[in-house]
């Protein structure tokens, strides 16, 4: 049995590197909108809500209807 730590190769050598773009995007956002961050560098969510509007987005609705739907259902279900 071999010890996993005794090999020179690490698992990271075989895994692809995925850059963390979240910090880069946050830094760009901070540069473009410095007033949306407090003195500690934290995002002020209340200011963002005020900026985009307090009104919540309405519930999305979808109607699957067409002309003759009632007749088609009656014919299909024998009503």
Backbone dihedral region for residue 63 (phi beyond 0: left; psi -120 to 50: alpha; all else: beta)? beta
| pLDDT value of position 31 | 92
User: pLDDT tens-digit profile of 9-45?
Assistant: 777 778 777 778 888 888 898 999 898 888 888 888 8
Q: Where are the domains of the chain?
A: 4-57
Residue 43 backbone phi and psi in degrees, to 5:
-70, 130
| pLDDT value of position 45 | 86
Which DSSP string corresponds to 13-63? GTSPP---HHHHHHHHHHHH-GGGB-TTS-B-HHHHHHHH-SSPPPPP---
| pLDDT value of position 47 | 84
Percent of residues, the chain, with pLDDT higher than 90: 4
- pLDDT beyond 60 at 5: no
Name the strand (E) or helix (H) holding 72.
Answer: helix 69-77
- pTM, to two decimals: 0.42
């Amino acid at each position: 049995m071999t010890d996993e730590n005794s090999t020179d190769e690490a698992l990271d050598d075989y895994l692809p590197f995925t850059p963390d773009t979240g910090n880069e995007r946050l830094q760009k956002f901070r540069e473009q909108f410095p007033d949306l961050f407090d003195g500690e560098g934290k995002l002020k969510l209340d200011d963002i809500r005020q900026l985009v509007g307090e009104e919540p987005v309405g519930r999305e609705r979808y109607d699957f209807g067409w002309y003759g739907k009632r007749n088609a259902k009656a014919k299909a279900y024998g009503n």
